[in-house]
Structure 1
């Protein structure tokens, strides 16, 4: 089904049940984009647009039941939704930024009920709950702007492994509903402080380098077949590297491809080298999108695990080249090219 048609159904849904019915078109959107020749980036933009529409409609329905919000707030997405890189196989990552501390128990209850309803309904729509609890219904990620600012600055000052893992979740924030100025203020302060936080960048670099594509050779048909998780072994290493470059150089872009392109000059990477890295990203996300469509067409649930031996010769060649490029660039972008953070 065409993306615009699904979004129109969502926007016109009069109640929760109608939203859930409209959400059934998510898989059809990915199939339609791939069938029309769209690459993995096109799939990401289309599926994220559907997720955004679902989130906004569910928030508005909740507000209609709960009454006007007791104060300004912003519902923000992070993770793949924040970066606009979703596929039909995804979970939800979101949070609430409050304009001020809730004045009393009644105000606290309003925001808690909003978050619980929307997270519950998104799960029913197929955007399953985040296994790590990065959702607005978690009180830790439903707090005033000042608390968010303090959290980021504390992560920068005390960048242990847990702090960096938490910070990574929220370096991809994007406003979906509410007062966008709240996130703009937070991002302005975070982007200004991050490049000068050497210890934090060093830890962020180590985290990025831990996510490396596999070294094992991809088998040909008939040989021992070993599954590859395209997300963990291909997508996330590039997401981490692009995020590191963006934070180290104060780049506001969120999409991985856009971050890589914007980092070329500041990071001192040659045009040829960055073109290879961007091409690797395109190949990996496109192969994943097509793989999931094949699964959907065969009646199987979509996922990220792929058997390289079952790919055709061209797909195996492209995947092998892409994974080797990522490993090479992860090693080559060390030292001064990232402000010293990959040493």
Structure 2
């Protein structure tokens, strides 16, 4: 029995409605479009994340080359690593590491390492002083100061004690690695503390002014002076916060630091290029991390020398530290002096004929 025309028309109308509202093949096409949109969104989010993590370099891309001090530091260290591998190789060096290469490379190559290390240490010292002055949590500020100073001093000690003075050199390396790792993992809650302290100070100043007004305003001039001093202190504190809190949380450089550190630990007794690669990656990550502290946010009042930046939350002011080529050359001059002191004077004096001495231990628990 053949279907009636009315039933056939109803069936065709139902099929057309299904196609119109996403049934059949159009549903598959819609699913494909949704997947493409998700993939495009994922690529965009990854691109934005990487751009944020590299903001210490990209935020100055519109400035002149003489302003790119952070990028120049990284390039110089990369040139140092490449020069060690290309000029010396691994046959002419007993220990394939930065310490081993510094004893055999020409002076113009060794200076590159000392210049980059001095610039990184200068940035670390700048960040530690700024963050400690901004942090009102005494315990956290003390811990950051202790770990920061140990990191700075121990890195200089790795240069002062050559590798042939084995015990002091190795304990300096471990002190630098452990203190830097602790410094990277410390929480930063300075802005919240600043807001709480500013609110507390504002309330106390208001309460004090009201109480003095009730008493007849005898100490009106003293109150104005106290309030003005408090306002100046809050502005300075806000500037310190703005100069020590990056606009985004940096996780790329700590990840590269710990990855390189683990490579060095795993290959501690190996003498190959993989150890040198891990050591170089960790060193560059440390330098980029401390220099990422040059950037700041506008929370709490901003800072000096802001740069315009187009961000997702609108136009932001970037108050970076004014670290350019001139500042790097000043650090490099100090690095040249350290190279002459450590490699030209100190190494032959402490380790004649390259003989390895055990030496005293800088850490009591280090064996």
After TM superposition, the score normalised by the length of structure 1 is 0.27
Compare relative contact order (CA 8 Å, sep 6+) and give the higher one, 1 or 2: 2
**Structure of higher CA gyration radius:** 2
Bigger proportion of residues as helix: 2
